[in-house]
């Protein structure tokens, strides 16, 4: 990890971020995404995060035309890691959210998207890459391993990713 970037990630910068209100980073939020649904390719996701998604390529993309979102990292099905926003910046991944009584999780979290259906399953390669990423992030930013949660945990009733069966035991560093 150097300059708030994961060393093994391909840098694909997104313009969809801003400054954090403080330097605090104490939460990792796991998401799942596929664009269009069930297409397990990271390229449309990265284009979406860059604001360059061709909305004529698929009818599903039309609804995303004015949406501005990003995540810090994206992990492909083969474990490839892409970084769209530096960790010290606020990526726009969580939306309306709350963790342990604190609203606006984007202010103090790192967002990681797994390429896949909202409720999984995810590949062994994704779990392995995510384990390395989470271990490095927890060490670099002193994040409690129990503060690695799913989007569904910070936005219940609104979000379901990464699914009820997501195996956090495979990715949380032992504290």
Q: How far apart are CA 161 and CA 153, in angstroms?
A: 9
pLDDT for residue 136: 97
pLDDT for residue 3: 87
- Which pTM was predicted? 0.97
Q: How far apart are CA 70 and CA 3, in angstroms?
A: 19
Closest CA to 26 of 107, 80, 124, 91: 107
**% of the chain residues with pLDDT over 90:** 93
Residue 174 has pLDDT above 90, yes or no: no
Question: Which architecture characterizes domain 10-170 according to CATH?
Answer: 3-Layer(aba) Sandwich (3.40)
pLDDT for residue 175: 65
Residue 161 has pLDDT above 90, yes or no: yes
Mean of pLDDT over the chain: 96
Q: How far apart are CA 86 and CA 76, in angstroms?
A: 18
Task: Mention every residue, 6+ apart, whose C-beta is less than 8 A from residue 100.
Answer: none
Q: Active-site positions?
A: 113
* Res. 1 pLDDT band, cuts 50 70 90: confident
Task: Mention every residue, 6+ apart, whose C-beta is less than 8 A from residue 111.
Answer: 29, 31, 70, 71, 72, 73, 91, 93, 94
Q: Is the dihedral of CA 81, 83, 86, 88 positive or negative?
A: negative
Other beta carbons within 10 Å of 105:
23
Q: How far apart are CA 35 and CA 44, in angstroms?
A: 6
Average pLDDT over residues 68-87: 98
Listed by start position, the domains of the chain span 10-170
Tell me: the pLDDT tens digits for 27-58? Answer: 999 999 999 998 999 999 999 999 999 989 89
């Amino acid at each position: 990890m150097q300059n708030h970037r994961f060393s093994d990630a391909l840098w694909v910068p997104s313009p969809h971020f801003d400054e954090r209100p403080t330097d605090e980073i104490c939460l990792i939020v796991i998401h799942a995404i596929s664009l269009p649904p069930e297409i397990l390719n990271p390229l449309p996701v990265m284009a979406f995060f860059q604001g360059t998604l061709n909305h004529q390529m698929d009818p599903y993309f039309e609804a995303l035309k004015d949406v501005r979102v990003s995540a810090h990292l994206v992990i492909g099905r083969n474990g490839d890691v892409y970084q769209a926003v530096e960790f010290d910046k606020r990526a726009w991944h969580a939306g309306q959210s709350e963790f342990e009584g604190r609203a606006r999780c984007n202010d103090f979290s790192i967002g990681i998207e797994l390429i896949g259906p909202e409720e999984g399953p995810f590949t062994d390669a994704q779990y392995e890459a995510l384990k390395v990423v989470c271990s490095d992030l927890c060490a670099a930013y002193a994040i409690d391993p129990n503060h690695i949660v799913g989007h569904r945990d910070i936005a219940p009733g609104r979000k379901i990713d990464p699914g009820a069966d997501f195996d956090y035991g495979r990715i949380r560093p032992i504290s």
